[in-house]
């Protein structure tokens, strides 16, 4: 992939061959060799056992995020011997491939050192001045965001701040960080933005496989957290977001909950502790901040994927909502390239009939199954618990406790039936009294006739 230094490295596929990028807008889902090479390296696994549709979903999401954000000034940053591709998307894939090689070899080093390593590889010009935040630093920062999907970099020229775009408004995340952080390790830079990932709940005692719980079990109820309940009880909006850091962000004012729209990325990255996301997040948490004692980036990704079951798949009405409305809103790409992540379809139960009424599970242990996202989910659940139905229709829609719901409506139905029976009895009694009066009048009339 370009010409590099003479250090002993495994042969790299040459980008001078311009592997199969089409010059005209193509159907977005024909996987090409250069894309496959990039995915193989970034996920640390061979893609033979991965659905090509899942790979295409992430690539389309990457294409959409990078569209219009590759700056022309960046083209001048590259070594004369490095054969840069033509289109912004091709360049993004090409540079992401190069950066995955650096991160694999050297770990989550600083942006400044990543640029230096790219210089040593004869990818970036060796004469760049790295004493200040240059366009090269901004480019690497943007590529790291597209590569990890931890954040969405904002379009920015050379400045004194690193900026990201936020779709959720209620998270403790800053959208700007000083460019002084380009000299610090990646984990320190990422933490500077705030709570890109949730921290350990203060005072919570973790429970592992070999320990007994020392605090009450915190249960997450499907009946409180499924999307149908969120919409019916709280009129909550679903915001489909582009970054992992905003997954399950909750805004009680709107109200709204944010859901990550490209779980195929999690599917690609979750199988190896040597994936690029795992490398970037390995030291993200300080020891006392880890959500659980056995935390790992791969477990975090599995937790993200399980959350779709909690929100959609485990509830019949929520599956119907996904099928009828939310699926279209969660599409990746723009215009003719609109495409729904097949992994999202699977996790949300798109292929399961809405006539299947039994949930996959009724509850989940927050400490064990959602140690990272526990706080965000509990905040949503508490918001729903605090809502009390105050109208007939809201009472009808309140399915948070099905046993209570059936009991209430059984009492209401039986009471209505009782009232109907009572009303019928009153009417019949009135008719009976009327007939008795008529019979009495007739008998009296006949008696009077007989007396005459």
Give the pLDDT score at 273. 86
Question: Which pLDDT band, with edges at 50, 70 and 90, does 128 fall under?
Answer: confident
pLDDT higher at 165 or 28: 165
Q: Residue 172 above 70 pLDDT?
A: yes
Give the pLDDT score at 214. 45
| Percent of the chain topping pLDDT 70 | 79
Contact 276, 300 (CB under 8 A): no
Write down the domain spans for the chain: 28-192, 219-397
From 61-65, 90-94, 269-273, 394-398, the region with the lowest mean pLDDT: 394-398
How is residue 58 written in tokens? 């992430």
Q: Is 194 in a helix, a strand, or coil?
A: strand
Among 374, 317, 306, residue whose Cα is nearest residue 346: 306
Give the pLDDT score at 337. 64
Give 319-332 pLDDT, tens digit per residue.
999 999 999 999 99
Give the pLDDT score at 207. 44
- Looking up tokens 């901040």 gives 289
From 204-213, 217-226, 298-307, 373-382, the region with the lowest mean pLDDT: 204-213
386: left (phi over 0), alpha (psi -120 to 50) or beta: alpha
Give the pLDDT score at 134. 82
| Percent of the chain topping pLDDT 90 | 42
Highest-pLDDT range among 4-13, 107-116, 194-203, 337-346: 107-116
Among 213, 211, 206, 258, residue whose Cα is nearest residue 371: 206
Task: Tell me if the bond preceding 309 is cis, omega within 30° of 0.
Answer: no
The pTM is what?
A: 0.79
């Amino acid at each position: 992939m370009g010409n590099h230094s003479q250090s002993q490295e495994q042969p790299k596929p040459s980008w001078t061959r311009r592997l199969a990028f089409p010059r005209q807008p193509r159907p977005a889902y024909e996987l090409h060799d250069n894309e496959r090479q990039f995915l193989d390296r970034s996920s640390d696994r061979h893609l033979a056992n991965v659905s090509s549709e899942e790979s295409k979903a992430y690539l389309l999401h990457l294409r959409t995020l990078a569209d219009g954000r590759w700056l022309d000034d960046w083209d001048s940053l590259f070594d004369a011997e490095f054969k840069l591709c033509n289109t912004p998307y091709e360049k993004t894939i090409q540079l992401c491939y190069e950066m995955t090689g650096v991160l694999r070899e050297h770990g989550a080093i600083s942006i400044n050192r990543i640029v230096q390593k790219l210089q040593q590889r004869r990818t970036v010009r060796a004469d760049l001045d790295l004493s200040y935040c240059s366009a090269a630093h901004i480019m690497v920062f943007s590529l790291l965001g597209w590569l990890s999907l931890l954040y969405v970099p904002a379009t920015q020229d050379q400045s004194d701040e690193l900026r990201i775009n936020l779709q959720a408004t209620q998270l403790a995340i800053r959208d700007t960080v000083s460019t002084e952080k380009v000299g610090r390790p990646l984990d320190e830079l990422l933490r500077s933005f705030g709570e890109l990932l949730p921290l350990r709940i203060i005072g919570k005692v973790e429970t592992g496989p070999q320990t007994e719980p020392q605090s009450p079990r915190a249960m997450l109820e499907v009946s409180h957290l499924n999307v149908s309940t969120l919409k019916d009880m709280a009129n909550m909006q679903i915001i489909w977001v582009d970054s992992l850091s905003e997954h399950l962000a909750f805004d009680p004012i709107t109200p709204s909950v944010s859901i990550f729209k490209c779980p195929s990325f999690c599917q690609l990255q979750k199988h190896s502790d040597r994936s690029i996301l795992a490398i970037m997040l390995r030291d993200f948490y300080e020891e006392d901040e880890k959500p659980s004692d056995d935390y790992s980036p791969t477990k975090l990704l599995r937790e993200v994927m399980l959350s779709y079951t909690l929100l959609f798949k485990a509830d019949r009405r929520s599956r119907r909502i996904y099928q009828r409305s939310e699926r279209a809103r969660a599409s990746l790409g723009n215009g003719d390239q609109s495409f729904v992540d097949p992994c999202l379809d699977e996790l949300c139960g798109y292929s399961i009939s809405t006539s299947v009424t039994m949930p996959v599970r009724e509850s989940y242990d927050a400490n064990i199954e959602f140690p990272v996202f526990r706080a965000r989910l509990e905040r949503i659940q508490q918001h729903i618990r605090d809502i009390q139905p105050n109208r007939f229709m809201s009472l009808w829609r309140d399915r948070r406790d099905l046993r209570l719901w059936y009991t209430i409506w059984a009492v209401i139905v039986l009471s209505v039936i009782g009232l109907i029976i009572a009303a019928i009895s009153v009417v019949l009694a009135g008719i009976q009294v009327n007939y008795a009066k008529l019979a009495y009048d007739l008998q009296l009339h006949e008696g009077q006739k007989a007396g005459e």
